[in-house]
Amino acid sequence: MLRALLLKWLSQRPEKIDRGASGEHLAEGFLRNEYGFRLLVRNWRNPRDRRDEIDLVMRDGEILVFVEVKPRVEGGVGAGLPCSG
């Protein structure tokens, strides 16, 4: 129990949160500038079940685009797609 709480606490460290927010801003800028996507909502959570979130909800014309951002450190091992689970 204590180990699970410690791991949860460590996973929410400010530097991890800052890295996630930074990655979301970079992804938003890239999708907006390169593809003309328009941001609708950042960090959307279902009001009935707030455990999960969608990092970016964007629009490409009439199409809704849901974006999960997984920031990676430079020199990370492996391609991004297999790491997204």
Structure confidence by residue, pLDDT tens digits, 74-85: 665 556 556 555
Q: How confident is the model at residue 52 (pLDDT cuts 50, 70, 90)?
A: confident
CB 47 within 8 A of CB 1: no
Structure confidence by residue, pLDDT tens digits, 5-19: 555 655 665 555 576
State both tokens at 80: 């991004």
CB 76 within 8 A of CB 28: no
How far are the Cα atoms of 31, 58, 77 from residue 81, in angstroms, in the given order? 17, 20, 12
| Strand order, beta sheet including 38-46 | 38-46, 49-60, 63-67
Backbone angles phi, psi at 8, to 5 degrees: -65, -45
